[in-house]
Amino acid sequence: NVKVEEIMKEVRSVVSKGLEQRDKAGINVRQPLEELIVKGVEFSNEYCDLIKDELNVKNVKFEDGDIVSVELNTVISHELLMEGVSRELTRIINNERKKMKLTIKNRIKLYLNTEDELLRKSAEVYKKNIMNSVQADELIFGSYKNEKSVKINNKESNIAIELL
């Protein structure tokens, strides 16, 4: 369908411009952002959702404009920062699972030993999401044997994975 191809071309262009702005601002795609403003073009909800997913933004707002342009809101609120930290923790844990050759069927007990208050608070707030994403039955704040040092939020912390 020619119309769908044209729309997807515009969507890819918007996503590409948004990714360029993330890159210029030094903001990783795992870090959620509040809003993308798109000028000069408008999309239906399904394409809007695609843009949100690709750019990891909560909202897409459309404004009038003569040419297609995008403006990414790069202000990171405390809530967005906590969500980004939880995603980074999830990524690191899943990398460790991979190194341990664990499958999706292998359940774990996760230990997080950190002095970083932001990481601790983020792990508490997003505990269910983290546990779901890493197949953990428990998330325990404290030390455990065979801890591995990891850098999250530019601070050193320790994690340990116990196979159940």
What's the confidence (pLDDT) of residue 159? Answer: 95
Q: pLDDT of 72-128, one tens digit each? A: 999 999 999 999 999 999 999 999 999 999 999 999 999 999 999 999 999 999 999
DSSP H stretches of helix in 26-160 = 45-55, 78-99, 117-125, 127-134
pLDDT given at position 143: 87
Q: Is-contact 131 94, C-beta < 8 A?
A: no
Convert the pLDDT of each residue in 60-71 to its tens digit: 999 988 888 999
Give the pLDDT of residue 103: 94
Residue 46 CB neighbour total at 10 angstroms: 9
Q: Contact, 132 vs 126, CB < 8 A?
A: no
Question: In the predicted model, what is the mean pLDDT of residues 124-146?
Answer: 95
Q: Over the stretch 15-54, which tens digit does the pLDDT of each residue have?
A: 999 999 999 999 999 999 999 999 998 898 999 999 999 9
Per-residue pLDDT at 1 = 76
Determine contact, residues 55/25, Cβ cutoff 8 Å. no
Instruction: Please return the burial class of 128, using the count of CB atoms within 10 Å of its CB with bins 0-12, 13-18 and 19+.
Output: exposed
**What are the structure tokens assigned to 134, written together?**
């890493």
The Cα 89–Cα 81 span in angstroms is 12
DSSP β-ladder status, 69-72 and 108-113: unpaired
Strands 69-72 and 33-39: antiparallel
The pTM (predicted TM-score) of the whole model is 0.83
